[in-house]
């Protein structure tokens, strides 16, 4: 069950991936989450990538590709994974193909979350993240039980620095310029499936689960 989630920021990739990986016991590998954690810890990696992330630019390919290569070697990724936020351009997609094929593997499915821009902007503007564990919430769609407090770890909820209006606009432009073309890249490999990113969470989950069943990807 090797799945790539493709789509603009705010399409719900991370939220869906987190729920699905709990279900299927495969890791959710989010390059954004890995980079944010490095940044929170102030590690050398975090210091290198801080400015790129704050400004909504892509972190250099060599850095993210190395992170993904290391992460995919870990034991928990042997039976599969959901990759979220990588690849983000053609060069990363080719590196991923190479990484997997060197290990005798290939992605099974690429899910593209097709989402109208107004939905993206609305979601990103209302998104809250836990400062401690990184869990995602939304002021209206996924409110925490107690305002401002994470349901999972009681950490403090805050807006992501790159979810501010200025940076959101920049990230959507970067997506159009660099990432949107990957839809065609994966269409050619016949692995692409399009799912609406504009659905309520439970409906989106239902559709994803039935898609995995249809493709015989379920690990039971
Ligand atoms: P995300 O959480 O996926 O929206 O990513 C947040 C930020 O992390 C992006 O705006 C980039 O600065 C950086 N980032 C995450 N994944 C990648 C990637 N595959 N390539 C380059 N930069 C990335």
Q: Which ligand 1 atom is at minimum distance from the Cα of 162?
A: 10
| Residue 214 alpha carbon to ligand 1 centre in Å | 31
Q: Is 123 a catalytic residue?
A: no
Average pLDDT in the 61-87 region? Answer: 96
Q: Is 12 in the pocket of ligand 1 (CB under 6 A)?
A: no
Q: Is 72 in the pocket of ligand 1 (CB under 6 A)?
A: no
Q: Is 35 in the pocket of ligand 1 (CB under 6 A)?
A: yes
Q: Is 31 in the pocket of ligand 1 (CB under 6 A)?
A: yes
Average pLDDT in the 104-131 region? Answer: 94
Average pLDDT in the 92-118 region? Answer: 95
What does the alpha-carbon distance between residue 95 and residue 203 come to, in Å, rounded to a whole number?
Answer: 33
Q: Is 127 a catalytic residue?
A: yes
Percent of the chain with pLDDT over 70: 99
Average pLDDT in the 2-30 region? Answer: 94
pTM: 0.93
Q: Per-residue pLDDT tens for 151-178?
A: 999 999 999 989 998 899 999 999 999 9
């Amino acid at each position: 069950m090797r799945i790539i989630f493709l789509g603009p920021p705010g399409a719900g990739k991370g939220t869906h991936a987190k729920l699905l990986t709990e279900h299927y016991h495969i890791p959710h590998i989010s390059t954004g989450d890995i980079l944010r954690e490095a940044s929170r810890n102030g590690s050398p990696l975090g210091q290198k990538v801080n400015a790129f992330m704050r400004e909504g630019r892509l972190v250099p390919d060599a850095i993210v590709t190395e992170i993904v290569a290391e992460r995919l070697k870990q034991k928990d990724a042997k039976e599969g994974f959901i990759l979220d936020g990588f690849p983000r351009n053609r060069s990363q997609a080719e590196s991923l193909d190479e990484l997997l094929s060197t290990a005798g593997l290939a992605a099974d499915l690429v899910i593209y979350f097709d989402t109208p821009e107004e939905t993206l902007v609305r979601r990103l503007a209302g998104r809250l993240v836990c400062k401690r564990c990184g869990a995602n919430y939304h002021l209206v769609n996924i409110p925490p039980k107690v305002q401002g407090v994470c349901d999972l770890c009681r950490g403090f909820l805050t807006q992501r620095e790159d979810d501010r209006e200025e940076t959101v606009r920049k990230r959507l432009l970067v997506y159009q310029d660099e990432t949107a073309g990957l839809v065609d890249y994966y269409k050619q490999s016949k692995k692409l499936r399009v799912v609406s990113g504009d659905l309520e969470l439970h409906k989106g989950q239902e559709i994803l689960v039935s898609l995995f069943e249809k493709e015989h990807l379920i690990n039971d």
